[in-house]
Amino acid sequence: MTKTIVFNKNLRIGELDAEADSNLLDHCFIDNGYIDQLLDVNNPKSIILGRTGSGKSALLYKLERSVHKCKRLDLHDISIKFLEHSDIINFFESIDVKLDLFYRMLWRHILILELLKLRYDFTADTSSNSSIFRNFLDWFKTHNERKAYDYFQQWGDKFWLETDEQLKQITTKLESDTKASLGLNSQIIQAGVEGLSRYSEEQITDIKRKAHQVIDGSQIANLNQILDSLNQSAFNDPQKKFYLIIDQLDEDWANTATRCKFIRALIEEIKSFRKITNIKLVIALRKDLLQLVFDKTRDSGFQEEKYESYILDIVWQKDDLRNLVERRINQVFKSQYTNHEVEFDDIFPTPRKKGGQLAFDFLIERTLSRPRDILQFVNCCFQASSDNKISWRALLAAEAVYSGKRLNSLSEEWSQIYPSLLTITEILRGKKANISRSDLSGAELQDIILELFSCEYNDQCSEICKRYMESKTSVKESEILSIFLTALYKVGIIGIKLSSLDTFVWSFIDQPSITIGDAKRTQSIKIHKMLHRALDIILNQNEIYAKEDYT
C-alpha cells in the first residue's frame, strides 16, 4: 500500500550550522566512531579536521553533551585582538623576535586555569582565601612542589579574572620585564620601527639579545613542571575526566598573521598537555586553515607528519550520508506531520527508466561528500516540490538553486586563501563538462588576467597575473593557467587526469592538492557536477544522469 505523504514546501531537514541545528543533532547524530576516539583521554586524536560543513561542530556538540565535566572556550571572549595593538608585541615583531614561546605560555596559562576552574568548580565568587583554594595550594606545599606553589600563589588574586584579563596581565608583565632588561633603552618600545633608526646596528643587536632573553626566560619552563605537578595532584583520578573544547578558530577573532601564530601555539600546547593523563583538549579546524597555519609558521626542521597522530580527519561515505538524510527526514516528519516511518524513497522520485539513475545518487554526485552539502540540496528539493511530491523535474529545478549556493559557499570558504576564486572560476563558464588544458587558453584567460591585474587581491592567482603584466616579465600564460588549475583542484571545483590510463582524481577524495608540475601535465579536466548549472556547463542528456566514479 502506497503511503500518503503530506508536507509543506518550506520543510527543512536541518540547518546548515550545528548551533542552529541542535534539536535534530540530538535525535539524528551519525556516529562514525569519531566520538569514542575523542572521549578516550588516552587516544591522542584531538584536532578535528575537515572542510566547511563536514560536521566538526556537530562532533564538538555531541562530545560536550556526552561528558560530565566539559567547558567550551570562546576565542571572541579571549580578546586576542588586544595583542595586535600591544606596544610590546609590535616592538618584538618589528625587531624580528620570535614570539612562539610567548604565545605558547599564554595558552598554557589560560588552559591550566580553565582546567582548574573545571576541576574544582572555581567561579568568580571563589576567593583566593577560600578553603578550597587554600587546600589546593597546600598540596603543592606539602609535596615540596615549590614552583607550582609560588606560581599559583602569585596569581591567587588574579585567578578569578576573565580569560581576556588574564591575557592582558601576562602581556603587561612581559612589557615590564622587557623594560627592566633594556634599562635606559626601554623607550624604544613606544618609539616603534621609526625609533630603531636612532640606534646603531650594535645597539639593536644588543636590544634583540635582551628581548630574546626575556622571551626565553618567561614562565614556560615553570609551567612545564606545573603540568607534571597537576598530573599528580588535581588530575590523578582515572574516574574523573575533564575536557576543554575550542571551536570557531576559523572566525575573525584576530588578523590572519596573529591567528596563525596563536593556532600553531595552541597545537603545540595540545601536544604538551598530553602528559596530564585524565584531561583532553579538543579543537576543530578547517583543512585549509590548518594548511595556512603550517605554511605561515613553518620553520627549519618542521615536519608535518609529526602532527598526524593528533589529527582526526573527518571522512563521510555515501552510506553514512544516506543514513543521515533518512534519519532526518523521518524525524522531521514524525515531529511535524505523522507518527509513521517516512523514508527517502517515500518522497523522492523512483529511478529513471531502463535502469537509470537513482534520486539519491543524483544528489550525492553534486556534493563534496559533506553533510552540509547534502542537507542543503535536500532542502532545495523540498522548496522546488509541488503536490506533496518531489519529481525529477523538481530535482532539476532545485539543482539550479543549489548550484548557485554552492559556488558562493566555496568562495566564502576559501576567501582567505583564494579571494580571487570567483574570478578564476569564470574560465570554466560555458565549457563542456570534460575539457583539456588547451580549452582554457585564449580570450577568456586574457580577460581574467586583466581583471586580476587591476584588483586588490593578494593571493597566488592575482600575484602571478600582476607579474605577467610587468614590462619585462618572464611569466607565461601557461604558468598562470597552472596556478589557476591548482587552486580550482584544491577547492574541489575540478578533477584532473594526468594520462589516458588514469582515473580522475579529486581533492575531496584523493590527494588534497596537486603540484604545479601535475597541473602542467594534466591531460583531462572534469568540472564537478555541483557547479554545472551555476557555470552554464554544456551538457547532453546522458551526461546529466551519467554515474560519476567518485561516489
| Residue 77, pLDDT above cutoff 80 | no
Q: What is the average per-residue pLDDT within 416-430?
A: 96
Specify whether 43 is located in the same domain as 134: yes
Most confident residue range from 144-148, 211-215, 520-524, 547-551: 520-524
In a domain, 525, yes or no: yes
Domain count, the chain: 3
pLDDT of 355 above 70: no
- Pick from 289, 313, 337: which residue ends a domain? 313
Q: What percent of the chain has pLDDT over 90?
A: 48
| CB 311 within 8 Å of CB 45 | yes
Contact assessment for residue 269 and residue 233, using Cβ atoms and an 8 Å cutoff: no
90, 236: one domain: yes
DSSP label of 489: H
**Residue 10, domain member (yes or no):** no
Residue at which a domain ends, from 362, 392, 413 = 413
Q: What rounded mean pLDDT belongs to the chain?
A: 87
For 455-502, write each residue's pLDDT tens digit: 999 899 999 999 999 988 999 999 999 999 999 999 999 999 998 888
Please indicate, yes or no, whether residues 159 and 225 belong to a single structural domain of this protein. yes
| Residue 8 domain flag | no
- Mean pLDDT in residue range 192-214: 78
Do 292 and 347 fall into the same domain?
no
Decide if 408 contacts 16 (C-beta within 8 A): no
Is there a domain that residue 12 lies in? no
Domain that holds residue 524: 421-545
Examine the fold and report which residue of 390, 413, 436 is the final residue of a domain before the chain moves on: 413
| Three-state secondary structure of 345-400 | HHHCCCCCCCCCCCHHHHHHCCCCCCHHHHHHHHHHHHHCCECCECCHHHHHHHHH
In a domain, 1, yes or no: no
1 has a pLDDT exceeding 50: no
- DSSP class of 476: -
Question: What pLDDT does residue 18 have?
Answer: 67
Phi and psi at residue 282, to the nearest 5°: -130, 130
| pLDDT one-digit tens code per residue, 158-201 | 655 677 777 787 888 888 888 888 776 777 776 666 667 777 78
Q: Which of the four pLDDT bands, split at 50, 70 and 90, describes residue 505?
A: very high
pLDDT band at residue 422, thresholds of 50, 70 and 90? Answer: very high
